[in-house]
Structure 1
């Protein structure tokens, strides 16, 4: 049994398993305004409201005047009103502009002030001041945060005014007698203009523990670093994680990454502006400006000269030389620009960073992402015994491994092998030699000593668990097949979902599947889904019927946005672990990649699919045609290496360059859908699948201080939006269809490749602080597509209005609307009687007494509050992380509300649940009931149905005999079935006893036959 972590680190909160939910304060900029700033801000708000009313009045008056004769008195009266309203509008607009300028000046003037957080203001928007739920993380554990409690030491800040952000970045702010300072802002936070501020005292107490003794001062002493990378690495401790209980830092090492070149690969090389080009361009532009200035001086001199005055020959020659120099400089600049963003098909050697972010555990461990101070990535298990056995079998000697600091270790001394790409700050932990003591320490030994000295903790997150084949497509996956996908292909792809849709009301299993009550497909069932599996008769409940109708409408909307069920799953991309150990511990020839690993050729290995089965490997975001079709390798001899349900990738595979993934925990979608694979193969046969290849420069190191961090974050604010190029790529794909010509498709593919490069530069901007300059002629190509509205299916995919989208086109996603149609639900009587008493602890509870009425009243208040909050959240447009955060917030609210309910009523949860079940039995909305008391209802169902079964024949529930484990039929149906079986046995017996009678013409003599 594992030891409890809180025995080792008593300062930590009682959790450690990653399940705790902590409440913190989330604020906007309004609470941070000074009293004077806030007064002006309110005045601006009042002016905006007044202007809004005036604009509405002007619009109304103008609409009336159109239909009146200008000679009428009523027209003149209305016109005077209109002119007066317009004058007022002009006055208030000028006043608003004056106040806004004054407000901005005040913000700039107050940059050096230490602000105070005011919590007593009447905030119009909830996001300006509210409590939110966050995940349990190393930060919350260090700060002693407890499950379901409010933490006073962490505040999330969203700031849209850079002057306010600059002020609190440099000076912090005060709240409740505590001084809060800037802590960090990860890439995800930066995209939302969020940052984390923490209590200065708490940070001082825990800084060494969080960052293993490495301070900004030490980083600066060694030359500084990229500021946004520093923020990304310091934000690792905010990741939802659990403590890695049996981790031993003394059994861990850090080794060099595995990198190698694969020669002569076909790539689409995209030339982007290099740092040298940038310097040259700046130099040429400076020269050009200088030449233009001199030519301008000559022009003025010529104009001011007296008429008839001849210029000297040297002046004319000088002007001619300057004009030639100007043309030459312009040509050089044009030539330089012509190189930018130019794609060309080339054969070249490509570098594969095989272990980029990947490490190996030689101790049994589920595949997990790991978090240690400044260490992050993926770790997968590879059995030590299997590797030593392989070496013995092949007569290969195992030598010692050398870490990145030069120290050697034998295989038996190591349990965890981290790579240099995982250890983000390896260069700041340097080897040391103490001349006085005559002892040396490697950088890793210093890290380990600090790790133990400051009580640091290793953590795991995204632990692989119960991987299910229950994936869905999206429009990005399907849009890249638009030129090959016929209407029949769309119908084949949608057939499972169409059958499920048609099964609502007609088939019990279909209805359970639609509601997510399926253990094989859903490993995160809620209490309602679990209860439906126990008591399917609940499908007759009015609330569940309403859910089915709403789910059906939601399903149709999802289908029309390209979301179909496929037999696939999102799994970790895992480099072949045998190849890694062979590379590090043996002397195999590194030029002969065929000798490494167990995954061979164009194969991947995944436990979820059959041997030799064809599978498609995809990654999100899926923008260009990147369908990597591979054969699954699942031999009996491979199973000793396949200790995970991830996708094991061959050392010779260039998939990482096609799908553009890292091995630090990126997940691939693996599926075996025959329709998608067929269309992808057809496309690749015609146009190939060529990976994009380009150079991405790195940002220069800077000194870590408030100013450099602020500048890095603000730059990322302005350049980190990938939505625009991503949507433009979708517009390009939707311009294609099966009737498109080869030339149209090839041209579109080239533009898509360039836009994909733009997306990747945008994604990495926070880390690189670099985006290439796009020449005018390329921007013109982009505008051919960007000028259009978003495609028609964005009605369903992004909740756009009809005014915002194009008319239905011929692309495959638009064609889905004509293939997947809605049908009316008819509920057939498929199951036995439903009784709400099965959901109750005490079926005889009095639901009409005064206390019961109080329960219902409080429930209705909570329901209204929850509906009000949920109405502001559109889950369909949230990404995975945002949806997860929203669900965590709901979970926090649920626990708090349930506890509050019991405290106010003064009765146990079981009694409250019973009263609500009776009072809401005919209600069509019981979301709040199941969220608050679902666990209680499930326990009641489990207890009340103990020893009962559903008859497979008639669908009615019956009491099974105590030791009858095999029967699936009620006594009546069983008797009828046995009777039929008895009759069948008699028929078979009689048939077998019949005497064989040969044909008459073969038994009689010939002379008799003749008669």
Structure 2
């Protein structure tokens, strides 16, 4: 998933008429004038009067603008001057971009994203669409995430008519309305699945797939039940129905060796490799014939079934008469199956965050130092260890996708000796320290997919056992990432209540035989999904093996049980412009989960956290998350509201200066709560560039013609300098110092403009390399690497790898290139001699120690 397309993202102001735009300019001008007045200190009375009059003008112009907008204007037009490079956004390739045949790395106007600031304009756009350069655009969809940010995607009407059947697998709005309609926002979210970043699943065969009922059982658990009306919290023992395969299906290991997220029209979720064919062989009494959700019987063996989807993955199944009908439409209209995130190779350790840390408020000073040890070591070693330098810059083997600069470092580690690498390392080090002070510390933990016990699922599906035993008991998990760790702390974001699921980790031969992925497998007898609030549709857990953390989590989880409350149900309605507009507006008013989360953080960092208030806010947070789809959330009783406000009246904790970029005057003074203590526990060591094995950097290897000095064209160099200075004004997204190769559209625009001056790509690149590396020796080369990184990497591959193929290698100690005479050789001659000398000295020391010990024993 490295291919991108570029499109415009504008707000509703881009569709103003001339009169509306004039009124908006008047409002903006007076707001700026008033803001400037309020910053002045002289003659307070005169300034106050001027500010008051400016406020009256703002109020009058705003009212007049609102009146004008409320009148409506039918089909609006997009003003062409609004489509500037600053409004370009980049999206990864998806089923949508492939179906519409959008050109990769090109700017398209077939799709357009609109952010809502004026509801009246959105109403016109949803009801009537808009025109742009002779094309008519209509409302297409909005994912749940887009709805939360008030964004909607529009598409050319002619293009939608041409490809609607492929995107909707033959289903039509008329079909849906004829069957009673659907919840509008859920429909928009399900339709938006085609816009997920994916790669095409080239060898997918829908005839080898079926859809069966989910695996659901009643789990007995002690919970804190919250009444959504009264907010009363009652601890009780309940039998709670849990859908263990909510969003999860199975795929034969021969078709996929690792778990993968799948996207198809109306189908989403996780597919986990499980050998259900071998399960049948091992259980002669098992029946290979299963019924799908429509009642048709399939034989898993005779019908050569490879994929078993579950009902929860097939979002619009009620609107198809049968699975065969869906399959026929899928093939008839050329629909696509696509793969999203796949299970990654076990790589670098993950990071803790302040939400998870603040709930361990009983953590002692020594325990906190132990948990921060890995982070402090990483900070101290930046600059002094080549391996650490490569790792923090993302040029190590664990990173699957590398930007161009990271690829170049992998090919030619001598780049570390350049001033630009030092500047990036300074930025990285500052970022590491700041994020660590804000609660982001390295731990012995890894992110991995959460998987259900599919052995138990097969016991239900193929053996007909209503209460299957499975392979995992209550309180057990199985994660092969840590085969030798008896306990794991299983975590998930957002972490708001005390949600440390410490579980016994069982990785024996039987588990490894059936659970072949690196996922976190959970028991069907456990209430862990209630505690962590996860589905099995691709949710990930941060699985931690840090012993200090596990001991602390076990202490803090004493007397803590999962929260339980009934969630709202979405009501169906007809799909039409009116209901779509009303659904979007209702979702926009659903509330801000960020504010709720921050309020919970205030309570955790108070002197005496009120756990009941945290429980109530956790419930409200989850209702707010689902509000975009369900349009339901509870109303807080007045007495509860008073108590919540009393607990959240304080400013955010001090560490928000580092975690949220707050100013000192916006936060509380630093206290003794656990995350604030990181400021004195995490070191801010001076960066010492003492690594001795960087080798000798030769900038000429970055050039197409290494031996020939490039003739510097002042027009190119001057234009480059100008674009580099003004690049931050060319995009709405922040440009980071170390963002080289992030495929930002602004860098592609810089490249395009430079090639207008000199059309030869290699000449321009060589010219800029000479200018920045030889003449200026600049420490700032992000624009060069982000705009021409592919060319630089290509040049390195030819110039450096030619040396490697000629039999050269880089010494792991000094970095010097030396003849590669054997596969075991890792040192140059001098470093190998020194290594042998040290090895012999150590062996001699060990021998003397053994002899001395033996003499003591004889005595």
Q: Normalising by structure 1, what TM-score?
A: 0.78
Aligned residue number for residue 137 of structure 1: 94
Are positions 1:22 and 2:9 aligned together? no
What's the CA shift string for 1:251-297, capped at 9, x where partnerless?
A: 2222111111123x210000013xxxxxxxxxxxxxxxxxxxxxxxx
- Return closer, same or farther for 1:979/1:267 CA change in 2, 3 Å cut-off: closer
Aligned residue number for residue 351 of structure 1: 241
The one of 187, 195, 211 aligned to 1:254: 211
- Return closer, same or farther for 1:94/1:653 CA change in 2, 3 Å cut-off: same
Aligned residue number for residue 329 of structure 1: none
Residues in 1 aligned to 2:574 and 2:767: alpha-carbon distance in whole angstroms: 63
Kept in 2: contact 1:731–1:790 (CA 8 A) = yes
What's the CA shift string for 1:563-588, capped at 9, x where partnerless?
A: 11122222111112222222111133
Where 1:471 maps in the other structure, the secondary structure is: coil
Aligned residue number for residue 928 of structure 1: 783
What's the CA shift string for 1:413-441, capped at 9, x where partnerless?
A: 222211111111112223xxxxxxxxxxx
Kept in 2: contact 1:719–1:762 (CA 8 A) = yes
Aligned residue number for residue 434 of structure 1: none
Kept in 2: contact 1:21–1:888 (CA 8 A) = no
User: Can you give the 5+ residue segments of structure 2 that lack an aligned partner in the other structure?
Assistant: none
Kept in 2: contact 1:948–1:957 (CA 8 A) = no
What's the CA shift string for 1:495-530, capped at 9, x where partnerless?
A: 11112222233333233333233223x333333334
The one of 695, 698, 703 aligned to 2:566: 695
Kept in 1: contact 2:403–2:740 (CA 8 A) = no
Residue 618 of structure 1: CA displacement?
0.7
Residue 89 of structure 1: CA displacement?
4.3
The one of 177, 182, 198 aligned to 1:241: 198
Residue 355 of structure 1: CA displacement?
1.1
Residue 94 of structure 1: CA displacement?
2.9
In terms of mean alpha carbon deviation, does 208-217 or 379-388 score higher?
Answer: 379-388
Residues in 1 aligned to 2:641 and 2:216: alpha-carbon distance in whole angstroms: 36
Kept in 2: contact 1:839–1:941 (CA 8 A) = no
Residues in 2 aligned to 1:538 and 1:460: alpha-carbon distance in whole angstroms: 35
Where 1:789 maps in the other structure, the secondary structure is: coil
Aligned residue number for residue 676 of structure 2: 814
The one of 124, 130, 133 aligned to 1:176: 133
Kept in 2: contact 1:841–1:914 (CA 8 A) = no
- Return closer, same or farther for 1:942/1:671 CA change in 2, 3 Å cut-off: farther
Residues in 1 aligned to 2:835 and 2:319: alpha-carbon distance in whole angstroms: 78
Residues in 2 aligned to 1:175 and 1:221: alpha-carbon distance in whole angstroms: 33
Where 2:263 maps in the other structure, the secondary structure is: strand
Aligned residue number for residue 842 of structure 1: 705
Kept in 1: contact 2:147–2:588 (CA 8 A) = yes
The one of 493, 507, 512 aligned to 2:371: 493
Residue 651 of structure 1: CA displacement?
1.7
Kept in 1: contact 2:379–2:429 (CA 8 A) = yes
User: What are the equivalent positions in structure 2 for 1:588-987 lying under 5 Å apart?
Assistant: 588=465, 590-591=466-467, 593-594=468-469, 596=470, 598-684=471-557, 687-736=558-607, 744=608, 748-828=610-690, 830-831=692-693, 832-847=695-710, 849-851=711-713, 853-869=714-730, 873=734, 890-895=743-748, 897-898=750-751, 901-902=754-755, 904-909=757-762, 912-913=765-766, 915-917=768-770, 919-921=772-774, 922-935=777-790, 936-937=792-793, 938-939=796-797, 940-944=799-803, 947-952=807-812, 955-961=814-820, 963-975=821-833
In terms of mean alpha carbon deviation, does 672-681 or 699-708 score higher?
Answer: 699-708
Kept in 2: contact 1:137–1:238 (CA 8 A) = yes
Are positions 1:402 and 2:291 aligned together? yes
The one of 457, 478, 482 aligned to 1:580: 457
Residues in 2 aligned to 1:704 and 1:664: alpha-carbon distance in whole angstroms: 27
Where 1:261 maps in the other structure, the secondary structure is: strand
User: What are the equivalent positions in structure 2 for 1:250-289 lying under 5 Å apart?
Assistant: 250-263=207-220, 265-273=221-229
Residues in 1 aligned to 2:677 and 2:816: alpha-carbon distance in whole angstroms: 45
Kept in 2: contact 1:37–1:106 (CA 8 A) = yes
Residues in 2 aligned to 1:868 and 1:202: alpha-carbon distance in whole angstroms: 33
Are positions 1:36 and 2:16 aligned together? no
Aligned residue number for residue 316 of structure 2: 425
Kept in 1: contact 2:7–2:88 (CA 8 A) = yes
Residue 870 of structure 1: CA displacement?
6.7
Are positions 1:389 and 2:281 aligned together? yes
Kept in 2: contact 1:720–1:766 (CA 8 A) = no
Report how many residues are paired.
Answer: 842
Kept in 1: contact 2:112–2:155 (CA 8 A) = yes
Residues in 2 aligned to 1:253 and 1:979: alpha-carbon distance in whole angstroms: 65
The one of 58, 69, 77 aligned to 1:107: 69
Aligned residue number for residue 55 of structure 2: 93
Residue 903 of structure 1: CA displacement?
5.5
Residue 733 of structure 1: CA displacement?
0.8
Kept in 2: contact 1:909–1:933 (CA 8 A) = no
Aligned residue number for residue 457 of structure 1: 336
Residue 899 of structure 1: CA displacement?
5.5
Residue 349 of structure 1: CA displacement?
0.9
- Return closer, same or farther for 1:803/1:871 CA change in 2, 3 Å cut-off: farther
Kept in 2: contact 1:611–1:635 (CA 8 A) = no
Are positions 1:61 and 2:18 aligned together? no
The one of 193, 198, 204 aligned to 2:155: 198
Residue 907 of structure 1: CA displacement?
2.5
Residue 189 of structure 1: CA displacement?
0.7
Kept in 2: contact 1:398–1:585 (CA 8 A) = yes
Residue 824 of structure 1: CA displacement?
2.1
In terms of mean alpha carbon deviation, does 753-762 or 419-428 score higher?
Answer: 419-428
In terms of mean alpha carbon deviation, does 470-479 or 972-981 score higher?
Answer: 972-981
Q: Normalising by structure 2, what TM-score?
A: 0.92
Where 2:788 maps in the other structure, the secondary structure is: helix
Are positions 1:558 and 2:558 aligned together? no
- Return closer, same or farther for 1:20/1:498 CA change in 2, 3 Å cut-off: closer
Residues in 2 aligned to 1:487 and 1:987: alpha-carbon distance in whole angstroms: 38
Residue 892 of structure 1: CA displacement?
4.1
Residues in 1 aligned to 2:145 and 2:746: alpha-carbon distance in whole angstroms: 24
Residues in 2 aligned to 1:804 and 1:266: alpha-carbon distance in whole angstroms: 40
- Return closer, same or farther for 1:780/1:464 CA change in 2, 3 Å cut-off: same
In terms of mean alpha carbon deviation, does 907-916 or 673-682 score higher?
Answer: 907-916
Where 1:639 maps in the other structure, the secondary structure is: helix
- Return closer, same or farther for 1:990/1:25 CA change in 2, 3 Å cut-off: closer
Kept in 1: contact 2:359–2:497 (CA 8 A) = yes
Give me the CA root mean square deviation: 3.1
The one of 131, 142, 167 aligned to 1:185: 142
Residue 888 of structure 1: CA displacement?
9.3
Residue 183 of structure 1: CA displacement?
0.8
The one of 552, 556, 568 aligned to 2:445: 568
- Return closer, same or farther for 1:485/1:761 CA change in 2, 3 Å cut-off: same
Kept in 2: contact 1:134–1:888 (CA 8 A) = no
Where 1:369 maps in the other structure, the secondary structure is: strand
Residues in 2 aligned to 1:211 and 1:671: alpha-carbon distance in whole angstroms: 41
Residue 779 of structure 1: CA displacement?
1.1
Where 1:24 maps in the other structure, the secondary structure is: strand
Residues in 2 aligned to 1:236 and 1:988: alpha-carbon distance in whole angstroms: 64
Where 2:87 maps in the other structure, the secondary structure is: strand
Residues in 2 aligned to 1:258 and 1:226: alpha-carbon distance in whole angstroms: 25
What's the CA shift string for 1:842-891, capped at 9, x where partnerless?
A: 333224x343x344223323322334447852879xxxxxx9xx999744
Residues in 2 aligned to 1:813 and 1:868: alpha-carbon distance in whole angstroms: 36
